Amino acid sequence: MPDTDVSTEKPAAPSAGKLGLAALTAIVIGSMIGSGIFALPSQMAGKAAPIPLLIGWIVTGAGMLMLAFVFQTLATRKPNVDGGVYGYAREGFGNYIGFTSAFGYWASAWMGNASYLVLLMATLDHFLPGTFTEGTTPAAILGASILLWLMHFLTLRGVQTAAFVNTIVTIAKVVPILAFIAVAIVGFKMGLFSADLWGTHTEIKGEPLGDTLTQVRNMMLITVWVFIGIEGAAVYSERAKTRSDVGKATVAGFLAVLSLLLLVNFLSYGLMAQAELAGLPDPSMAGLMAQQVGPWGAGFVSVALIVSLLGALLAWVLLCAEILRIPAKEAVMPATLGRENAHGSPAAALWLTNGCVQTVLILTLFFESTYLGLVLLATSLILLPYLWSAAYQLLLAVRGETYEQGGGRARDIVIGAVALLYAIWLVYAGGLEYLLTAAIFYAVGTVMYLWARRESRQPLFTTAELVIFVVLVAAGAVGIWQIATGNIAVFSD
């Protein structure tokens, strides 16, 4: 249970300047459609054959749909809880768990932003061959840094301005994806798709794909990556004109993006042999378009990806700042991170967030970094926030809290249980390497929590929270040892 200083009572906020259903839905879609869908064909081909791929998507689709329902239900039943994944974790399990949820979400977001910038510069290399290579050359890092800070100053102009731009960009980047789907439907060859349905003969870089369970497990973190952002509307719950719009935007955005992902992924297997498909450089959709319609197709997809990345980067810069702002108002993050400038933007939170992105960009010059490595690390960091939200939904339903008038309790118990099992499965599927690396981030990040609690003169930990902190520190220590001995390679896939 949360500490006594947790309160869910908040005065009603005026609707002027708030975000409506269209803007919230655009945030969800814009957050999810970033780089993942454009790199999906090769990344999935390197992990699974068509039938294991189908099984994996069924698991992911069901699990993520349950998570979408979790955020929809919580937005309706707990309208006074702000901050999405942070607010639900804190309300259900206390201040420190709330902090881990906010911190994990924030760290995942800015790590993802770094991956967006790396892929964006690699995509620009299509137009300036040899200049940016894989997005980690000095020229690429300089270009990415300039773009990062331009985005930073745009966001400082205010959430409303940035949200409007995000809506326009979201529309602009969906149209080229639909064009690729149309081309893929025309060029689809069933013989290529069905050549090795179970992956028993296909080898990727000389290595077999493994059994069905191995293939499904290996693709899990990638499928989570393409869905990260499903909770975007919930994070903005405090800024919504109507709280019910949060749930509607979450489910509508999920269903729209799921349809696009499935079409792009499965149609790709009918355009090129799987081993060849797995060898395409990112963004692999560009290589497929070039094969189908000629060299101009790669340029067309590259432009679309640049637009998509700019939109996703903007959406996630907004989310990064927002997930820090609300905890800072509740003595879970340092108070300075909650202060807003004259335009209503949390300026300090933006400076800290984009400073972290800049640091990772510089580090890519010294590590053997890859876009996929950054993606997998970002994904591992967000698993805990998803788990806490699912657990809170289940806790409410089991206790009967907010169900005094009946209605949907049994259904919500099932939804919460399935979502929680899915979140636990993701932690397992992610593997020990990423779990230990994430623990390092959480353990070090706790400094921010200790600062906030001292600053507000609040108790540091309850007994249960102290146990959790000790476990995180121990796991982080093991992770550091594994990195030092070369058993874990940070930022590489």
In contact, 163 and 20? CB cutoff 8 Å: no
Is the per-residue pLDDT at 330 higher than 70? yes
Q: Average pLDDT of the chain?
A: 86
Query: Domains in the chain, ordered, with CATH?
Result: 21-432 (1.20.1740.10)
Extract the tokens encoding 148. 């990062």
Q: What is the mean pLDDT of residues 358-371?
A: 80
pLDDT at residue 3 above 50?
A: no
Q: Is the pLDDT of residue 86 over 70?
A: yes
CB burial of residue 198 (10 Å; 0-12, 13-18, 19+): middle
Q: Which residue has the tokens 């907010």?
A: 402
Q: Average pLDDT for residues 236-264, to the nearest whole number?
A: 86
Residue 14 vs residue 476, higher pLDDT: 476
The angle formed by the CA atoms of residues 118, 373 and 228, to the nearest 5 degrees, is 80
- Interatomic CA distance for residues 243 and 230, integer angstroms: 16
Weakest-pLDDT range from 17-21, 105-109, 214-218, 438-442: 17-21
The proportion of the chain whose per-residue pLDDT surpasses 90, expressed as a percent, equals 48
d(CA 98, CA 7): 13
CA 385 to chain centre: 11
The distance in angstroms from the start CA to the end CA of the chain is 38
| Token duo for residue 20 | 């409506």
When pLDDT is cut at 50, 70 and 90, the band that residue 8 belongs to is: very low
Cβ atoms 47, 214 nearer than 8 A = no
pLDDT band at residue 190 under the 50/70/90 scheme: very high
Q: 406 pairs with which residues across the strands?
A: none
pLDDT at 170 over 80: no
Q: What is the pLDDT of residue 359?
A: 93
Torsional sign, CA 118, 373, 436, 216: positive
Six token digits for residue 325: 């702002």
pLDDT of residue 205: 86
Judged against a pLDDT cut of 50, whether residue 455 lies above it is answered with yes
Q: What is the pLDDT of residue 490?
A: 64
- Residue 413 CA to residue 393 CA, distance in Å, equals 8
Mean pLDDT over 362-382 rounds to 81
Q: Which residue has the higher pLDDT, 69 or 161?
A: 69
What torsion, rounded to 10 degrees, do the Cα atoms 77, 79, 82, 88 define?
-10
Q: Is residue 4 pLDDT above 70, yes or no?
A: no
What is the SS3 string spanning the chain? CCCCCCCCCCCCCCCCCCECHHHHHHHHHHHHCCCHHHHHHHHHHCCCCHHHHHHHHHHHHHHHHHHHHHHHHHHHHCCCCCCCHHHHHHHHHCHHHHHHHHHHHHHHHHHHHHHHHHHHHHHHCCCCCCCCCCCCCHHHHHHHHHHHHHHHHHHCCCHHHHHHHHHHHHHHHHHHHHHHHHHHHHHCCHHHHCCCCCCCCCEECCEECCCHHHHHHHHHHHHHHHHCCCCHHHHCHHHECCHHHHHHHHHHHHHHHHHHHHHHHHHHCCCCCHHHHHCCCCCHHHHHHHHHHCHHHHHHHHHHHHHHHHHHHHHHHHHHHHHHHHHHHCCCCCHHHHCCCCCCCCHHHHHHHHHHHHHHHHHCCCCCCCHHHHHHHHHHHHHHHHHHHHHHHHHHHHHCCCCCCCCCHHHHHHHHHHHHHHHHHHHHHHCHHHHHHHHHHHHHHHHHHHHHHHHCCCCCCCHHHHHHHHHHHHHHHHHHHHHHCCCCCCCCC
pLDDT at 340: 85
In whole angstroms, how far apart are CA 380 and each of 53, 59, 431, 444?
20, 18, 9, 16
Per-residue pLDDT of 382-437, as tens digits, reads: 999 999 999 999 999 999 999 987 778 999 999 999 999 999 998 888 888 888 99
Would the CA dihedral through 338, 339, 344, 350 be positive or negative?
negative
pLDDT digits (tens, 9 = 90+) for 263-295: 999 999 999 999 999 999 878 999 999 999 998
- At 369, is the pLDDT very low, low, confident or very high (cuts 50, 70, 90)? low
To the nearest whole percent, how much of the chain has pLDDT over 70? 92
In this structure, what token pair is assigned to residue 281?
Answer: 């450089």
Higher pLDDT, 105 or 365: 105
351 with 340: CB under 8 angstroms? Answer: no
pLDDT at residue 125 in the model: 83
Residue 149, both tokens: 């800070």
Question: pLDDT-derived band of residue 339, with 50, 70 and 90 as boundaries?
Answer: confident
Radius of gyration of the chain (CA): 22
492 pLDDT band, cuts 50/70/90, is low
Of the ranges 61-75, 180-194, 329-343, the best mean pLDDT one: 180-194
pLDDT-based confidence at 342, cuts 50/70/90? confident
The more confidently predicted of residues 11 and 326 is: 326
Burial classification of residue 467, based on how many CB atoms lie within 10 Å of its CB (0-12 exposed, 13-18 middle, 19 or more buried): exposed
pLDDT of residue 31: 72
pTM: 0.83
What pairs with residue 19 in β-bridges?
A: 240
Spatial contact of 174 and 33, defined as CB atoms under 8 Å apart: yes
pLDDT > 90? residue 99:
yes
pLDDT (tens digit per residue) in 42-55: 999 999 999 999 99
In angstroms, rounded to a whole number, what is the distance separating the alpha carbons of residues 493 and 487?
13
β-pair type (203-204, 207-208): antiparallel
How far is Cα 351 from Cα 347, in angstroms, rounded to an integer? 6
- Is residue 489 within 8 Å of residue 369, measured between CB atoms? no
Nearest to 28 by CA among 261, 236, 309: 236
| Beta carbons of 105 and 323 less than 8 angstroms apart | yes
